Structure 1
Amino acid sequence: MENLTELKQRIARHAPDDGFFDTAVPGLSLIRSQAVSDPVHTLYDPSFCLVASGRKRARIGSREIVYETGGCLVVGIDLPIIGAVIEASTDAPYLCLKLSLDRGMLADLLLGVAHTGGGAPEPDRTEAAGVQAATPELVDASTRLLGLLDAPQDIATLAPLVIREIHYRLMTGPQGAILRQIVSGESHLGQIGRAVAYLCDNYAAPTRIEDLARIAGMSPSSFHEHFRTATAMSPLQFRTRLRMHEARRLMVAEGLSAAEAGFRVGYDSPSQFSRDHVRIYSRPPRRDLSRMQAEQAY
């Protein structure tokens, strides 16, 4: 792909060491790894990730996907994802850019976008994340966006224009159905997105399936089915992942004990929190601290 080499060079220049780097462009981050990694638990916001070099495996609930050089991951809603770099070396590091997506921009674009190409799946079968090969136009726009890091005086004026173009390229591309349906309140994915937004804001509160179904505008049985299709998890499994993600952040960033973090995110029982932690991360909280600290870098 013509511009992929230039994109790789620009990511490498602005991410000179291993880790996760925020940039001066709002919503744009860069990731570099010179070695394969253990699985890392993260919470992805609606975003697009383009790999310029290397390969990564992502597990979303029971679903596993791989994206590699020239490929990109499109995520339409907040999702707990377990990612692992599976191809990287000192000479050919894993290099990736991540751009958070703007729901308002997508909604604005939807008004003028013809629903073309890609054989869009039926709304009730659409998953909330997908992988596609990056088109030359998408690589070109991403490369130009990274180029603005070398001209910081141009970022405020030009970055919003290039970011809008990227949103347009994604919305009209192979995974565009995900983004179109997320901003369409009448689609099943859009309905599930409302429930996910509620869970992200209220993960510590007791929540009934009936309440989430009402927020989504579905019957409980239909809601459960479409939620699992979208996220590859049940609603309660999803909430547990959200709670665990925040609890780990509290233990690392604020120095809370496991019991304190568990209570903060909604657990009444420290033993139940510990059991859930072991089930998800394979280790009890106190033994997992070093891995938690390492994951904060990604």
Structure 2
Amino acid sequence: MDGTNHRQTAYEEQRMLSSRMELIERIMRAMPTDGVCEPIQGVHLGRLSTPMEKLHSVLEPSLCIIAQGSKAIFVGDNRYQYDPFNYFLATIELPRVSQVLEASKEKPYLSFRLGLDPNIVGSVLVEAGYMAPSGNADVRAIDVSPLDADLMEAVIRLVRLIETPQHGRVLKPLITREIIYRLLMGDQGGRLCHLTVSGSYTPQIARAIERLRQDFDQSLRIEDLAQEMGMSVSSFHQHFKAVTAMSPLQFQKRLRLQEARRLMLGEDLDATSAAYRVGYNDASYFSREYKSLFGIPPIRDIQQLKETMDENPE
């Protein structure tokens, strides 16, 4: 029996190694230079030749796999690190900070990301007859789990469609459903219920997140938002933080500051104008909040970002 288990383990390891090497090769062919691209709708590839400073953004529901290198994701006070042996799953749009930890010109960081459509996820859940465990209804919306050979091989088949687009219209929906099914049967199956109407308080929290995203520049009373979701204030706080790792006010603040940064960088707004656009009435307070999140005041931060963009136009 021990010999059989050993042979099975060795076989699985060989499958994983073969798939990882193919994923590296295919991403390198699709991306000969650093950057990000979306060669197939919903499929995003990334390449980076140097470790990256922390990047603030909003992460959509996605499956993320690294072919080469490693990365850390920060959400609230939590840190999630993953590499070619683990996958990262996010099931609700959340403000996050990401940082590529391992990358070089000889061995660039290479990544795959598949956006998760709630309608497709819901359809697979129904077809599979999946019932979420009651204890998992309010699990956090993000986590890292070991990557297995079956899931990896399904991802490889999806990436192969980049070079055979004539087959994509028929095969992409089928392979995407297989990937979702394999996620459903894995460690994070219960987490996928965040994308559907299943679960306990998850639908209310998802609605609250969408409301905060739409009206991030408005003054929202948490008491009113909790009442709108049909929850007590204490229950709303508890379940919101359980899913997002942040309080509602922290969540709104990060959305505001990230949008202000985008306005200053992309639309050339000054700090005061950007502050008012995202809902701050006090420019000094905005500057303090901005520095607490990004590490330096707005003017210096934007200047540094522009200098970095000038040095690395790609």
When normalised by structure 2's length, the TM-score is 0.87
1:70 lines up with 2:88 in the alignment: no
Q: Which residue of 2 aligns with 1:91?
A: 106
Q: Which residue of 2 aligns with 1:55?
A: 70
Return the alpha-carbon distance in structure 2 between the equivalents of residues 55 and 217 of structure 1: 41
After superposition, residues 122-161 of structure 1 pair within 5 angstroms as: 122-123=135-136, 125-161=138-174
Q: Specify whether residues 253 and 285 from structure 1 end up closer, same or farther in structure 2 by C-alpha distance, changes over 3 A only.
A: same
The unaligned stretches of length 5 or more in structure 1 are none
Q: Specify whether residues 190 and 256 from structure 1 end up closer, same or farther in structure 2 by C-alpha distance, changes over 3 A only.
A: same
Look up the equivalent residue of 1:258 and give its one-letter code: A
RMSD: 2.2
Q: Specify whether residues 260 and 41 from structure 1 end up closer, same or farther in structure 2 by C-alpha distance, changes over 3 A only.
A: same
Q: Which residue of 2 aligns with 1:82?
A: 97
Which residue of the other structure, out of 201, 210, 233, is the alignment partner of 2:246?
A: 233
Return the alpha-carbon distance in structure 2 between the equivalents of residues 271 and 243 of structure 1: 15
After superposition, residues 26-65 of structure 1 pair within 5 angstroms as: 26-65=41-80
Look up the equivalent residue of 1:75 and give its one-letter code: A
The unaligned stretches of length 5 or more in structure 2 are 1-15
Q: Which residue of 2 aligns with 1:8?
A: 24
Q: Which residue of 2 aligns with 1:247?
A: 260
Which residue of the other structure, out of 104, 121, 127, is the alignment partner of 1:112?
A: 127
Return the alpha-carbon distance in structure 2 between the equivalents of residues 72 and 224 of structure 1: 29
Which residue of the other structure, out of 172, 191, 196, is the alignment partner of 2:185?
A: 172
Look up the equivalent residue of 1:63 and give its one-letter code: N
After superposition, residues 13-28 of structure 1 pair within 5 angstroms as: 13-23=29-39, 25-28=40-43
Q: Which stretch of structure 1 is more off in the superposition, 221-230 or 265-274?
A: 265-274
Q: Which residue of 2 aligns with 1:256?
A: 269
What whole-Å deviation, never above 9, does each CA across 1:104-131 have from its counterpart, x for those lacking one?
1111112122448xx9682465111011
The alpha-carbon deviation at position 178 of structure 1 amounts to 0.9
The alpha-carbon deviation at position 297 of structure 1 amounts to 9.2
- The DSSP-based 3-state class of the residue aligned with 1:228 is helix
The alpha-carbon deviation at position 89 of structure 1 amounts to 2.0
The alpha-carbon deviation at position 277 of structure 1 amounts to 0.6
- The DSSP-based 3-state class of the residue aligned with 2:51 is coil
Look up the equivalent residue of 1:285 and give its one-letter code: P
Is this contact kept in 2: 1:48–1:98, CA < 8 A?
yes
The aligned length equals 295
Q: Which stretch of structure 1 is more off in the superposition, 93-102 or 153-162?
A: 153-162
Return the alpha-carbon distance in structure 2 between the equivalents of residues 121 and 99 of structure 1: 27
- The DSSP-based 3-state class of the residue aligned with 1:149 is coil
What whole-Å deviation, never above 9, does each CA across 1:84-111 have from its counterpart, x for those lacking one?
1112222222111111110111111121
Considering Cα pairs closer than 8 Å and 6+ residues apart, tell me whether 1 or 2 has the greater RCO. 1
The alpha-carbon deviation at position 138 of structure 1 amounts to 1.5
Please list every run of at least 4 consecutive aligned residues from structure 1 whose deviation after the TM superposition is greater than 3 angstroms: 290-298
Return the alpha-carbon distance in structure 1 between the equivalents of residues 69 and 117 of structure 2: 27
Q: Which residue of 1 aligns with 2:7?
A: none
Return the alpha-carbon distance in structure 2 between the equivalents of residues 251 and 201 of structure 1: 20
The alpha-carbon deviation at position 186 of structure 1 amounts to 4.2
Is this contact kept in 1: 2:222–2:233, CA < 8 A?
yes
Q: Specify whether residues 160 and 125 from structure 1 end up closer, same or farther in structure 2 by C-alpha distance, changes over 3 A only.
A: closer
Return the alpha-carbon distance in structure 1 between the equivalents of residues 150 and 233 of structure 2: 42
Return the alpha-carbon distance in structure 2 between the equivalents of residues 180 and 149 of structure 1: 29
When normalised by structure 1's length, the TM-score is 0.91
Q: Which stretch of structure 1 is more off in the superposition, 157-166 or 286-295?
A: 286-295
The alpha-carbon deviation at position 196 of structure 1 amounts to 0.7
Is this contact kept in 2: 1:113–1:172, CA < 8 A?
no
Report the structure number with the largest CA radius of gyration: 2
- The DSSP-based 3-state class of the residue aligned with 2:238 is helix
Report the identity percentage.
38
Is this contact kept in 1: 2:57–2:97, CA < 8 A?
yes
What whole-Å deviation, never above 9, does each CA across 1:192-230 have from its counterpart, x for those lacking one?
111111111111111111222234332110110111121
